[in-house]
Structure 1
C-alpha cells in the first residue's frame, strides 16, 4: 500500500478513534509527510518495501540534513521517528503489513554530539588577539584567559568576587551549581592577566560599590551578554571563521586536558560536574584523536 494512503488512514484513526487534538494532528501530518517524501526519494513506493535499514537511514538523513531539509536536532529527529514508528505500528494492527520493521529502530540520543571546541592554536590566536591598553581591554583579556585556564562556566566567572582570586597563589574559588564551591588552579598566563587587570584595569572601573571581579564601565558587575560580546569580538579579531561562545572555551579546556593525559575524574572535579558520566562526553574526542593517530602511524592500520 502506498505510504501516503496509509498516512491518511492513520491520521483519520487518530482524529476519530483516539481523539487527538488539532495541533497534535497537524504536527503528526507534517512529520508523516516528511517521511513519505523521503521514502519517495528513496524509491520506496509501497510501505511493505520499507526495511529497518531504511528507517535507520531516514534518521541519519534527518540528523545530517538532505536536499532542502536542514539538519534536525536529536530531539526533533526522535519525534519524527516516533511518527514513522506510529505509522508502521498502525499498519500492522490494521493488517496492512505483516511485520513492524520500525519497532527495533531506536531514536538518536540527545547530547551525543560533542560541543564545538577550538584547537590549541585557535585558542592561542583568540587570546593573543586581545589588546591590553584600556581598562576594559585589560578586563576582557583577563576574562578570556580565566575562562580557558579554569574551564569555568561564564556564569561562574562573572560571579567571582575579589576574595575568590586573591587567596592561595594560582588557585581560585569557583562557586558552581547549587552553591557548591571548588578550588581550580589557573596557569601563569591567566594569573598574569588577572594581576594586570587588578592593578591597572579594575581600579579605573570601580566606583566602590561592587565586589565583583569583572566590572562594566559603570562599576557594576559585568553581564552575561557583555561577556558574550567580548568573546565574539575576540573571535572576529582572531579571524577564526567560526561562531563560538563562552562555553566553547570550557569545552576546549576539558578536551585539551584529556588529550594531554589528564584523568577524567580530575577533569570532572575541575569542571564541577556532579557525575563523571557528564564529563565522559569529552572522552569521545580523545578516543577519536587516538584512532586518527593510530591510523596514520601504525604499520598494520591499512
Structure 2
C-alpha cells in the first residue's frame, strides 16, 4: 500500500517514521503502528481525490475514521488511529508540508478500558513457586516435576564475556520444549542423558527466576527479556530497566526473587550459556536471549499446570500493581515502579482494588 502512494506522500511517510524513531524515540512497534495508520489515511485521501499531501483536510480525516468504524475497528483501535493522525498532522505542519494542523480539531473516540483480571496473592505465590513442582504446559512433562530442581555441585558467580546485548533466540520454543521434556526421555548415567538433564534443570531455574522477576518487580515482559547481567544490582536488590521510549528506571525486588536469581546465575545460566549469550540475563534453552513469545508461553504453561486461571506476563504485572496498592503503597510510587508516563494509567489499579472489595462485601455482608 505504501508503494501505491504518490512519491511526495511516500517521502513524507518515510520522514515521519524517522522522526518517530530518531526524535521522539518511539519503539519499533509504535513506529510500525503509527506508520501503518498514516499510510492507510493517505491511501484513503488519495482515493478521495487528494493528489497532494497539502490537500488533506478534516473532512478526509473524519471520512477515514468513519470507514474504519464501518469495517469493525474497535474503539481502542480508533483511538490509536486518531492519535496517529494527530501526531502526523502536527509534525507535517511543523515541517511545512501542511498549511495548518488539520487534525488538531479531530475528536478521538474514548477507548473503553476493561478492568484487568488479577490473581489473588496466594494464586500469584503458587504460580511463581510452580517451577520444579508442576509442568510448564499440559503436553510437556517437566524433568523435575514434583520436586525441587537438583542443583549442580559446581558453579560460582558467572562473568560473561562479550558486549552488553546479544541476539534474541529465534528457536527458543523448540529448545525449551525439548529441555522441559528431557527428563522423561534421557537415561541416567549416559553422557547424553546427563547433558539433557542438566539443561532441563537449568531451564527450571530460569523459569523460576523469570516468574519471580515478573511478579516481584511488575516489569513488562519485553523489559524482563531485555535485561542484562549488569542491570541487576544484587547488593541493593534493584534492577535497572529500560522502558517505553528508552526511559530508564530502577525497580526493587524482594528476597525470593534474589534467591531465584542467585540460583539461576550460579547454577542455571552457565549450563545454557553459549557463544550468542553475551550479557543477556535470561537465556533460552539454546543459549540465545530469551524472547518474549517463549516467556509468555512459560507463564501461561505454568499457570495451566498449577490449575490457576489463565494468566499472561501482563496479568502478573497487573497483579503486582494491585497487591502493592492493596498493601498500602502510594499511587505515585506504583506509577514510578511500573514506568507509567501518566498517573491515569496507574489509577486503573485503584478501581481493581475497589471492585475486589465490593465483591468481598457482596459475598460476606448479610445486608449486601
TM above 0.5, one fold?
Answer: yes
Q: What's the offset of the Cα at 1:128?
A: 2.2
- 1:218 counterpart residue number: 286
- 2:300 counterpart residue number: 232
- 2:211 counterpart residue number: 144
Segments of 5+ residues of structure 1 without an aligned counterpart are 1-17, 32-71, 79-106
Q: What's the offset of the Cα at 1:272?
A: 0.4
Q: Does 1:202 align with 2:203?
A: no
Within 5 Å, give how 1:150-165 maps onto structure 2: 150-165=217-232
Q: 2:343 aligns with which of 273, 276, 281?
A: 276
The question of whether the paired residues in 1 share the 8 Å contact of 2:69 and 2:78 is answered with no
Q: Are residues 123 and 108 of structure 1, via their aligned partners in 2, closer, same or farther at CA, if it must alter by over 3 Å?
A: farther
**Distance of 1:77 and 1:215 partners within structure 2:** 37
- Structure 1 stretch displaced more, 248-257 or 208-217: 208-217
Q: Are residues 287 and 239 of structure 1, via their aligned partners in 2, closer, same or farther at CA, if it must alter by over 3 Å?
A: same
Provide the alpha-carbon RMSD of the alignment. Answer: 3.1
**Distance of 2:69 and 2:112 partners within structure 1:** 24
- 1:124 counterpart residue number: 125
Query: Secondary structure of the equivalent of 1:280?
Result: helix
Query: Secondary structure of the equivalent of 1:152?
Result: coil
Segments of 5+ residues of structure 2 without an aligned counterpart are 1-58, 80-107, 133-147, 150-200
The question of whether the paired residues in 1 share the 8 Å contact of 2:68 and 2:78 is answered with no
Structure with larger Rg: 1
Q: What's the offset of the Cα at 1:25?
A: 8.4
**Distance of 2:113 and 2:67 partners within structure 1:** 30
- 2:329 counterpart residue number: 262
Normalising by structure 2, report the TM-score.
Answer: 0.51
Q: Does 1:135 align with 2:202?
A: yes
- Give the aligned length: 212
**Distance of 1:26 and 1:289 partners within structure 2:** 36
Within 5 Å, give how 1:1-302 maps onto structure 2: 74-75=75-76, 109-131=110-132, 132-133=148-149, 134-209=201-276, 210-240=278-308, 242-292=309-359
**Distance of 1:236 and 1:201 partners within structure 2:** 24
**Distance of 2:344 and 2:275 partners within structure 1:** 43
**Distance of 2:301 and 2:234 partners within structure 1:** 31
Normalising by structure 1, report the TM-score.
Answer: 0.62
Q: What's the offset of the Cα at 1:108?
A: 8.6
> Deviations along 1:223-244, whole A, 9 cap, x unmatched?
111101111210121111x322
> Deviations along 1:174-230, whole A, 9 cap, x unmatched?
111111111111011111001000000001111254110001122110111110111
Query: Secondary structure of the equivalent of 2:251?
Result: strand
